[in-house]
Amino acid sequence: MSTIIIWVIGAGLLLMNIALRTEVLQLKAHLKALRNPKEQMDYLRQQAKLSQNNKMASIKALRKQYPELSLIEANKLWQQIQ
């Protein structure tokens, strides 16, 4: 009997985790849609000038300013300004 209760609680926690993870992903997508890509490019150009074209420092500053950006997206933006 206790095994069944543990399985039910585990399944419930798993479903809650999936639901919350989906909600977080939707919120990130909505936040990304609200941000202007031109604004991100301008900020990255400014950071590149300040750090004398140091790629790592510029991308780190960009991701700190825009936490919804993934490392891959930030790297793509960097490649566009080079």
Provide the pLDDT for residue 19. 95
Max CA separation in the chain (angstroms): 66
Rg of the chain, C-alpha, whole Å = 20
> Taking the complete model, does pTM exceed 0.85, yes or no?
no
Helices and strands: H and E segment counts in the chain: 4, 0
Q: d(Cα 5, Cα 33) in Å, to the nearest integer?
A: 42
Specify the range with the lowest mean pLDDT, choosing from 13-17, 29-33, 41-45, 61-65: 29-33
Tokens standing for 59?
């991308």
pLDDT at 15 exceeding the cut of 90 = yes
Mean model confidence pLDDT for the chain:
89
Average pLDDT over residues 46-75: 89
Q: Which residue, 55, 52, 59, 53, is CA-closest to 74? A: 59
Tokens standing for 54?
């140091």
